[in-house]
Amino acid sequence: MGELRLMKGNEALAEAAIRAGVDGYFGYPITPQSEVIEYLMSEKPHERTGMVVLQAESEVASINMLYGGGGTGKKVMTSSSSPGISLMQEGLSYLAGAEIPCVVANVVRGGPGLGDIQPAQSDYFQSVKGGGHGDYRLFVIAPASVQEMSDFVPLAFDVAFKYRIPSLIVSDGLIGQMMEKVELFDPIPRLTDEEVIARYPWATNGKPKGKERRILTSLDLDPHKMERHNWALQEKYKLIEENETRFELIGCDDAEYIIVAYGSSSRIAQKSIQLARKKGIKVGLLRLITLWPFPKKPIEEFVKNGIKGFLTVEMSAGQMIEDVKLVVEGRAKVEHFGRYGGVIHSPEEVLEALEQKLIGG
Amino acid sequence: MAEITLQDIIKPENLVYQKTKLMTDKTLSYCPGCGHGTAHRLIMEVIEELGKENDTIGVAPVGCSVLAYEFMNVDMQEAAHGRAPAVATAIKRLWPGKVVFSYQGDGDLAAIGTAETIHACNRGERIVMVFINNGIYGMTGGQMAPTTLPNMKTATSPYGRDIDMMGNPLKMTELVSYLPGTYFVTRQAVHTPAAVRKAKRALRMAFQNQIDGKPGVSFVEIVSNCNSGWKMEPVQANTWMEENMFPFYQLGDIKVDGKLIDR
């Protein structure tokens, strides 16, 4: 059993970064995630593990520091909240293009624009549909608890390095700010410079003696070469879809209706399911753990088995519903419910929506 | 007297100069007469002479020198437009024993990347920043740069840079010299053999500062021509540069060993 602590989600993320053997964190304060860099600064990780923590001049600088640091084969990470993540989209596109591993955490708040500082899930499109320019994907994973704010950090790094892809941890102001019990994982030692050099031959950390130099770029002025580069990226994304899709099924065995949710909404939906079951409504929860790759298979299974309908629950105007509909292809009813702009729905509101939109409707 | 053939001359003992092995054999993409090629070569010569070929990471910009990584035979990263100082910051912080440099033009360093430039300099990152200033956006076809001189004609100031309407040219190098995080700040040129020798000395000092762990950025501006963008013959462009650019962008050291020079 690992060390138990009562922590905020943001603090758990920061502690996990130190324990995951992260070499560099580059960040910029923004509510509701400023505790990440505050915790890191107060923990003196340069003394604990030798980890570098730097407050950058902007999110634009932070994400480009990830490009530089990640490009040398080091484990690098940043975190921010919605408006700051918007500023990072250029950098994410370059990171994806140059195939540089890194981890970015978005503690989502209400939008659009400056929005507010309350929890929201309205960055789904930005997270999984690109956000920046070009044909690229991020590995997008959504914690639903403070525990997972910790657990998903090493996981996000594993995937990032395995496939040379940026990973995005998408939580929200609720998970970032709430306190829960966390079982911390045992520290993973940082790699030595020699280990980094040996393990990542693509990394630019000084041309090895007697070998070719390495170049990290997202540019190729020859369109045919650029198309081939894109084909290689798409092959990689296909592999990630096959191997890295994650989801959880709760109470789905006898379910006639399915709620599809992730993050905070999936926690709320668990209560809604209990309330529904008390009323005799057979509803289960498909909790998305990865947002990209999107868990298509369980949805396909539900449709094949004659499910009566899906209710997507998201603190947005209805973004994730589009991906559910793409799998369902009109074969079952798909409805959306969610409060947004920083408002959190209650379990009762979700149940009411289920009854009105799917059962009564 | 016997006729001397080429074979009589090409002998190892007669060798006085050769291309540094840290420049690749790839044909430079620069216009004939452009200073970028010389600037590239000087940096690579300095790195070779300092014995840092296997310990150097360079960061290329966006602009004419976007393909710098094709020509510089060391580990290289291609940064987004203006972000090279942020990219270089992280590399140096995570590999403090390595030699890290950024290479940027005026649009990259002094316009879109102003924040990254100022803050890398102000934090005192122990990197070399090379800044090529030709007063114009060359790559995109000769538009106005932050460094374009007053009344200078460009594609986006076709009647000359009107200061009232388009603002003033930015002396980025003087600006960063006032920041406590810069250790060495100099402005050089590469259009004559004498200027090339001086520029190389400056670059050598910049890289030596970093190797010696001197606190702060070593910032080397190279005022260069852009004969294509300026729509001049190369020789004419160099003359124009001497007569117009140098009076505004005065050559010489601005800050040495962390102290401003009385100019």
Taking any CB pair shorter than 8 Å as contact, residues of chain A touching chain B are 23-24, 26, 52, 54, 56-58, 60-62, 64-69, 71-72, 74, 76, 90-91, 94, 98, 193, 204-209, 213-219
pLDDT over threshold 90, residue B9? no
pLDDT in the model for residue A6: 98
B211 touches chain A (CB under 8 A): no
pLDDT in the model for residue B251: 98
Q: Are residues A152 and A281 in the same domain?
A: no
Residues of B in contact with A26 (CB under 8 A): 90
In a domain, A339, yes or no: yes
User: Do B91 and A68 lie within an 8 Å CB cutoff?
Assistant: yes
User: Do A208 and B59 lie within an 8 Å CB cutoff?
Assistant: no
Share of chain A above pLDDT 70, in %: 100
CATH code of the domain covering residue B50: 3.40.50.970
To 5 degrees, how large is the angle CA A26–CA A27–CA A30? 175
**Nearest CB to B80; choose among A94, A213, A215:** A94
CATH code of the domain covering residue A22: 3.40.50.970
Q: How far off is chain B from A31, nearest CA to CA, in Å?
A: 22
Q: Are residues A13 and A138 in the same domain?
A: yes
Q: How far off is chain A from B62, nearest CA to CA, in Å?
A: 10
pLDDT over threshold 80, residue A311? yes
**Nearest CB to A219; choose among B66, B74, B119:** B66
Cα B249 from chain centre: 14
If one counts the domains in chain A, the total is 2
B59 touches chain A (CB under 8 A): yes
**Nearest CB to A67; choose among B73, B79, B115:** B79
- Average pLDDT, stretch B129-137? 97
pLDDT over threshold 60, residue A361? no
Per-residue pLDDT tens for A211-239?
A: 999 999 999 999 999 999 999 999 999 99
Q: Are residues A182 and A265 in the same domain?
A: no
Q: Are residues A174 and A51 in the same domain?
A: yes
State the residue range of the domain holding A81.
3-194
**Nearest CB to B89; choose among A68, A74, A217:** A68
Boundary residue ending a domain (A155, A173, A194): A194
pLDDT in the model for residue B3: 85
**Nearest CB to B91; choose among A60, A69, A217:** A69
pLDDT in the model for residue B262: 86
Residues of A in contact with B69 (CB under 8 A): 215, 217
Residue B94 CB partners (closer than 8 Å, separation 6+): A23, A24, A52, A69, A72, A74, A76
Per-residue pLDDT tens for A119-169?
A: 999 999 999 998 999 999 999 999 999 999 999 999 999 999 999 999 999
pLDDT over threshold 90, residue A298? yes
Residues of A in contact with B86 (CB under 8 A): 56, 60-62, 64-65, 68
User: Do A218 and B78 lie within an 8 Å CB cutoff?
Assistant: yes
**Nearest CB to A68; choose among B53, B87, B115:** B87
**Nearest CB to B54; choose among A60, A193, A208:** A208
Q: How far off is chain B from A358, nearest CA to CA, in Å?
A: 48
Share of chain B above pLDDT 70, in %: 100
- Average pLDDT, stretch B121-146? 97
Q: Are residues A26 and A154 in the same domain?
A: yes
Q: Give residue A250's pLDDT band: very low, low, confident or very high (50, 70, 90).
A: very high
User: Do A68 and B56 lie within an 8 Å CB cutoff?
Assistant: no
Q: Are residues A255 and A352 in the same domain?
A: yes
Q: Is the ipTM of this complex over 0.90?
A: yes
- Average pLDDT, stretch B158-163? 97
pLDDT over threshold 70, residue B1? no
Q: How far off is chain A from B25, nearest CA to CA, in Å?
A: 14
Q: Give residue B86's pLDDT band: very low, low, confident or very high (50, 70, 90).
A: very high
Q: Are residues A292 and A163 in the same domain?
A: no
In a domain, A208, yes or no: no
In a domain, B245, yes or no: yes
**Burial classification of residue B21, based on how many CB atoms lie within 10 Å of its CB (0-12 exposed, 13-18 middle, 19 or more buried):** exposed
| Distance of alpha carbon A323 from alpha carbon A241, whole angstroms | 14
pLDDT in the model for residue A56: 98
Classify each residue of A164-200 as buried b or exposed e, where b means 16 or more C-beta atoms within 10 Å of its C-beta.
bbbbbbbbbbbbbbbebebebbeeeebbebeebbeeb
In a domain, B151, yes or no: yes
Q: Are residues A45 and A188 in the same domain?
A: yes
Closest residue of chain B to A89, computed from CA coordinates: B80
- Average pLDDT, stretch A338-350? 97
In a domain, A115, yes or no: yes
- Average pLDDT, stretch B132-152? 96
User: Do B116 and A61 lie within an 8 Å CB cutoff?
Assistant: yes
Share of chain A above pLDDT 90, in %: 99
CATH code of the domain covering residue A340: 3.40.50.920
In a domain, B3, yes or no: no
User: Average model confidence (pLDDT) for chain B?
Assistant: 96
User: Do A213 and B87 lie within an 8 Å CB cutoff?
Assistant: no
State the residue range of the domain holding B91.
30-260
- Average pLDDT, stretch B72-77? 98
Q: Give residue A353's pLDDT band: very low, low, confident or very high (50, 70, 90).
A: very high
If one counts the domains in chain B, the total is 1
**Nearest CB to A206; choose among B56, B83, B87:** B56
In a domain, B20, yes or no: no
Q: How far off is chain B from A174, nearest CA to CA, in Å?
A: 31
Pairs of CB atoms within 8 A across A/B: 126
Per-residue pLDDT tens for B194-249?
A: 999 999 999 999 999 999 999 999 999 999 999 999 999 999 999 999 999 999 99
- Average pLDDT, stretch B35-45? 98
Residues of B in contact with A218 (CB under 8 A): 78
In a domain, A214, yes or no: no
What token pair was written down for B40?
């590239």
pLDDT in the model for residue B4: 87
In a domain, B52, yes or no: yes
pLDDT over threshold 80, residue A1? no
In a domain, B8, yes or no: no
> What does the H/E/C string look like for chain A?
CCEEEEEEHHHHHHHHHHHCCCCEEEECCCCCCCHHHHHHHHHCHHHHCCCEEEECCCHHHHHHHHHHHHCCCCCEEEEECHHHHHHCHHHHHHHHHHCCCEEEEEEEECCCCCCCCCECCCCHHHHHCCCCCCCCCCEEECCCCHHHHHHHHHHHHHHHHHHCCEEEEEEEHHHHHCEEEEEECCCCCCCCHHHHHHHCCCCCCCCCCCCCCCEECCCCCCHHHHHHHHHHHHHHHHHHHHHCCCEEEECCCCCCEEEEECHHHHHHHHHHHHHHHHCCCCEEEEEECEEECCCHHHHHHHHHCCCCEEEEECCCCCCCHHHHHHHHCCCCEEEEECCCCCCCCCHHHHHHHHHHHHHCC
In a domain, B12, yes or no: no
- Average pLDDT, stretch A242-253? 98
- Average pLDDT, stretch B176-188? 98
- Amino acid occupying residue B118: I
